Amino acid sequence: DTEVTQTPKHLVMGMTNKKSLKCEQHMGHRAMYWYKQKAKKPPELMFVYSYEKLSINESVPSRFSPECPNSSLLNLHLHALQPEDSALYLCASSQDRARGLGSPLHFGNGTRLTVT
Amino acid sequence: AQTVTQSQPEMSVQEAETVTLSCTYDTSESDYYLFWYKQPPSRQMILVIRQEAYKQQNATENRFSVNFQKAAKSFSLKISDSQLGDAAMYFCAYRSQTLTSGTYKYIFGTGTRLKVLA
């Protein structure tokens, strides 16, 4: 069982739709991440939240809008996406400012997004 | 900027045999963590093993072990007694020191696809 839960597992949306991806963790982690992964490629970092504040935005287009309502939840709002945005979107969490724990990333199962 | 390189796009191993996956990285930092993640077709990224840079002893987790050569900036993964369930994409990852924001940044290599032959 995964400790990071992502919904939905699959999403098909048109270029004019608005949808949201959701991520939830209950491990008490204070850092949460959104990654985008294309087939046979490594995950690419999009956003990082630390203590519910956006700390990293890797120059992601504004059609992707992250939100961290509380320490357990992370959303990614999608609007006016392009077909090239089709990918696996992975959420992850980790302990932060926790030197000595070697805090790894804990990943969810991802949302497979198809933009038509 | 840190970089992570996995030079083997694909590897094959016979069941019950041993295989080594290569990873090199470039950094000017002295303290950092290195990880190996496994991503099977089910697509979840699973932590296999981690290594802290200031520990000279190589990490071991059951059938998985690393050969960490800090001076050479090399971090290879050895899988012993390979099993069919080991077939997956393997990613090497580097975790930087804490940024000013208090956030770690993880940098992934391009991955090695491991096939296990029965």
Q: Chain A neighbours among B 72-101 (CB < 8 Å)?
A: 89, 91, 93, 98-99, 101
* 8 Å CB contact of B102 and A51: yes
How many percent of chain A have pLDDT more than 70? 92
Read off the tokens for B41: 């077709």
Q: How many CB pairs under 8 A join A and B?
A: 70
Spatial neighbors of A15 by CB under 8 A, at least 6 apart, are A80, A81, A82, A83, A115, A116
pLDDT at A96 over 70: no
pLDDT the model gives residue B55? 85
**Which chain A positions have a beta carbon within 8 Å of B100's beta carbon?**
none
Provide mean pLDDT across the span B16-43.
Answer: 93
pLDDT > 90: what percent of chain B?
75
CB contact under 8 A, B110 and A109: no
Helix and strand numbers, DSSP H then E, in chain B: 0, 12
**B78-92 residue pLDDT tens:** 999 999 999 999 999
- In angstroms, the separation between the Cα of residue B52 and the nearest Cα of chain A is 7
Residue B43 pLDDT grade (very low, low, confident, very high; cuts 50, 70, 90): confident
Confidence of residue A2 (pLDDT cuts 50, 70, 90): low
pLDDT attached to residue B1: 75
B64 touching chain A per CB within 8 A: no
Long-range contacts of A94-103, Cβ-Cβ distance < 8 Å, separation of 24 or more: A94/A29, A94/A31, A94/A33, A94/B104, A95/A29, A95/A30, A95/A31, A96/A29, A96/A30, A96/A31, A96/A50, A96/A51, A96/B102, A96/B103, A96/B104, A97/A30, A97/B98, A97/B102, A99/B98, A102/B33, A102/B50, A102/B52, A103/B104
Which A positions 12-31 lie with beta carbon below 8 A of chain B? 31
Q: Position A69: which residue type?
A: P
Question: Chain B: residue nearest A100 by CA?
Answer: B52
> Predicted confidence band at A103 (pLDDT cuts at 50, 70, 90)?
confident
pLDDT recorded at residue A100 = 46
